[in-house]
Structure 1
Amino acid sequence: MQPRDLSDHVAYEAGRGIEEVARELDRDPSEFVKLASNENPHGPSPAAAVAIRETASSVSSYPKAAHADLTSAVADRWNVADEQVWLANGGDGAIDYLHRAVLEPGDSILVPAPGFAYYGMSSRYHHGDVREYDLSKADDFTQDAETVLEHYDGDRAIFLTSPHNPTGSTIPLEEVAKLADATDDETLVVVDEAYGEFADRDSAVALLEGRDGFEARDDVAVLRTFSKAYGLAGVRLGYAVVPGEWADAYARVNTPFAASELACRAGIAAVDDDEHVERTVETARDSRAYMREHIDAHVWESEGNFALVDVGDASAVAEEMQQRGVIVRDCSSFGLPGCIRITCGTEDETERAVETVNDVLAALDLETGPSDEADDPDAEVVDS
């Protein structure tokens, strides 16, 4: 007995943690700072942390009430109907639900390259195919409808990431609407806004609801997560906001109790913790600006909680920075072998990261960019 043919699937590879690196190098974990996984440097929402502690004694019960309460709180936040909010076990769980709702075997999805591996992974799990559209380094990873439409071929779903990981670029809502207008009626445009709180742009939820001068649409869905701005990556909580016409589909595609009791109670507390989110967003903006001003290499403008840096040789720079106690993301796995991604940290963490990368660049005497190297089209994208 063997599993089905999984040769076309890739394994998800998360960013390395402090404990893992410290064990490998036989060092004390306190020597390291991790700026590789776009986590919140201020930790979880304090209100959510309290809710988790208070909920611990009730985890023997299924989260039916908590699930309904969180759904209602998120719906109120976006001024949509409860039925439009599909809670999930992280943003990746919401991707699974959308694929269950739209994909037939053999259908294709269109995803950005570089981009989030799980779009394609989930499609393959559901017996769908994966095609890519390229975001060009030469064009500073600009996102617009034309770029996507050049590769569109009747795909069942198109994924946009705004802000985009790992580059930090965004796509204007006018371009999303243009893309949706130009594609087939049965093509779903999914706007992944996992880093949306950090961007100075309105959410694509406006397109679903016909706000801000846009026509209401039934072919756009939006992904959001509690992992980044709310600091709840460890509880795995995300959601999709879908068209109102999809009300009956969620009950048919979700797993029983899609989010845990702890996750739901944490989310209910966090969704109103504006102070924590505002502090987190301010820290990210300051960190991005500091990196762009002080790193001795090209740093792309970003609207996420991270910055992409052209260092010439990502593997060498990331390895040497790790030896010096700063863990960053080698973006070779994204098809960007000359780039590293640095998560926005606290003021002290950011200053340490900048000093370290500059020292490493000087020590290795690398030629930095923006370079003319070609992106690697065959690289597997593996990070969040």
Structure 2
Amino acid sequence: MQPRDLSDHVAYEAGRGIEEVARELGRNPSEFVKLASNENPHGPSPAATEAIRETAASVNGYPKAAHADLTEAIADQWGLVDAQIWLANGGDGAIDYLHRATVEPGEDVLVPDPGFAYYGMSARFHHGGVTEYTISRADGFAQTAETVLEHYDGERIVWLTSPHNPTGSTIALDDIEHVAAETGEDTLVVVDEAYGEFADRDSAVSLLEGRNGFDARDDVAVLRTFSKAYGLAGVRLGYAIVPEAWSEAYTRVNTPFAASELACRAGLAALEDDDHVNRTVETARESRAAMRDHLETHVWESEGNFVLAAVGDASAVAEETQARGVIVRDCSSFGLPGCVRVTCGTEAETERAIETLNAVLVDLDVQPAEVTEP
């Protein structure tokens, strides 16, 4: 007995953790700073931490009430009805739900390249196919409707990422609307806003609800997560925002109790902790600016909690930077072997990353021609 043919599937490559790297190098974990996974440098919302402590003794029960409470709270935050909120086990869980609700076996989804590998992985898990559109370094990783539409060929879902990982670029709401208008009536446009809190622009929820001068659409969905700005990556909590007409589909595609009791109670508390989110966003903005100003290489403009930097040989630079105690993300797995992604850390972490990466570029004799745009 063997599993089904998984030869078309690839393993997801997560950023390396401090404990993993320290064990490998035989060193103390305290020597390292991890800036590879776009995690919140301030940790979880303190209110969420307290909620987890208070909830721990009641995790013997299923999270029915907590699930309903969090759904209602998120809907209120966005001015939506509860049925438009699809809670999930992280943003990747919401991706699975949207594919289950939409993709028939053999139908394709259109995904960005480079981009989040799980869009394609999930589609293939659900027996769908994957086509790609390119977000090009030669174009400064700009995202436009034309870039997407020139590759569109009737796919069931079009995935947009704003801000985009790993580049930090965004796509304007006018362009998102144009994509939705020019794709078929059976195509759903999903805007992944996992890093939305860090961007200085309106959410694509405006397109679902007919706000800010847009007509309401029933072919756009939005993805959000508690992993980044709220600092809850470890409890796995995300959600999709869907058109109201999709409301009944959730009960037919979600797993029973799609988010845990701890996750729901943490999410409820985090939603009320504006101070933590504001501090996190401000830290990211300051860190992005510092890295653009002081890294001695090309750094692209970013609206996420990370920057993409040109380094010539990403593998060599990431390895040497890691050896010096700063873990960054080699973007070879994204198809960008000349770039590393650096998460926005605290002021001290950002300063250390800048000093370390600059020294590595000098010591490895990375030439200007290797790191200039494009």
Which whole-Å deviations, capped at 9, do the CAs of 1:207-227 have from their partners, x for residues lacking one? 000000100000000000000
Deviation at 1:314, TM superposition (A): 0.4
SS at match of 2:54: helix
**Unmatched 5+ stretches in structure 1:** 374-384
Deviation at 1:372, TM superposition (A): 6.9
Alpha carbons 1:312, 1:371 under 8 Å: kept: no
Which residue pairs with 2:327 in the alignment? 327
C-alpha distance in 1 between matches for 2:268 and 2:158: 30
C-alpha distance in 1 between matches for 2:163 and 2:289: 16
Which residue pairs with 1:279 in the alignment? 279
Which whole-Å deviations, capped at 9, do the CAs of 1:300-348 have from their partners, x for residues lacking one? 0000000000011101110000010000000011000000000000000
C-alpha distance in 1 between matches for 2:254 and 2:28: 43
Which residue pairs with 1:194 in the alignment? 194
C-alpha distance in 1 between matches for 2:28 and 2:263: 31
Alpha carbons 1:109, 1:129 under 8 Å: kept: yes
5 Å-filtered alignment, 1:207-226, equals 207-226=207-226
SS at match of 2:248: coil
Which residue pairs with 2:145 in the alignment? 145
Deviation at 1:12, TM superposition (A): 1.1
**Structure 1 stretches (4+) deviating beyond 3 angstroms?**
368-373
Which residue pairs with 2:70 in the alignment? 70
Which residue pairs with 2:5 in the alignment? 5
C-alpha distance in 2 between matches for 1:150 and 1:156: 16
Letter in 1 for 2:349: E
C-alpha distance in 2 between matches for 1:74 and 1:53: 22
Which residue pairs with 2:135 in the alignment? 135
Which whole-Å deviations, capped at 9, do the CAs of 1:224-274 have from their partners, x for residues lacking one? 000000000000000000000011100000000000000000000001111
C-alpha distance in 1 between matches for 2:224 and 2:143: 19
Which residue pairs with 2:104 in the alignment? 104
Which residue pairs with 1:382 in the alignment? none
Number of residue-to-residue matches in the alignment = 373
C-alpha distance in 2 between matches for 1:315 and 1:40: 24
**Unmatched 5+ stretches in structure 2:** none
TM-score (norm. length: structure 2): 0.99
Which whole-Å deviations, capped at 9, do the CAs of 1:23-46 have from their partners, x for residues lacking one? 000000000000000000000001
Which whole-Å deviations, capped at 9, do the CAs of 1:38-73 have from their partners, x for residues lacking one? 000000001000000000000000000000000000
Which residue pairs with 1:377 in the alignment? none
C-alpha distance in 1 between matches for 2:277 and 2:304: 13
Which whole-Å deviations, capped at 9, do the CAs of 1:77-128 have from their partners, x for residues lacking one? 1000000000000000000000000000000000000000000000000000
SS at match of 1:299: coil
SS at match of 1:168: coil
Deviation at 1:2, TM superposition (A): 0.6
C-alpha distance in 1 between matches for 2:23 and 2:183: 50
Letter in 2 for 1:248: E
Letter in 2 for 1:60: N
Letter in 2 for 1:28: N
Which residue pairs with 1:123 in the alignment? 123
Which residue pairs with 2:262 in the alignment? 262
Deviation at 1:19, TM superposition (A): 0.3
Q: 1:365 to 1:88 in 2, by over 3 A?
A: same
Which residue pairs with 1:339 in the alignment? 339
SS at match of 2:36: coil
Letter in 2 for 1:338: G
**Is 1:314 paired with 2:286?**
no
Which whole-Å deviations, capped at 9, do the CAs of 1:158-212 have from their partners, x for residues lacking one? 0000000000000000000011000000000000000000000100001000000
TM-score (norm. length: structure 1): 0.96
Alpha carbons 2:297, 2:372 under 8 Å: kept: no
Letter in 1 for 2:276: H
When the two chains are superposed, the root-mean-square deviation of aligned CA atoms in Å is: 0.8
Which residue pairs with 1:177 in the alignment? 177
Which residue pairs with 2:300 in the alignment? 300
SS at match of 1:169: coil
- Identical positions, percent: 76
Alpha carbons 2:168, 2:308 under 8 Å: kept: yes
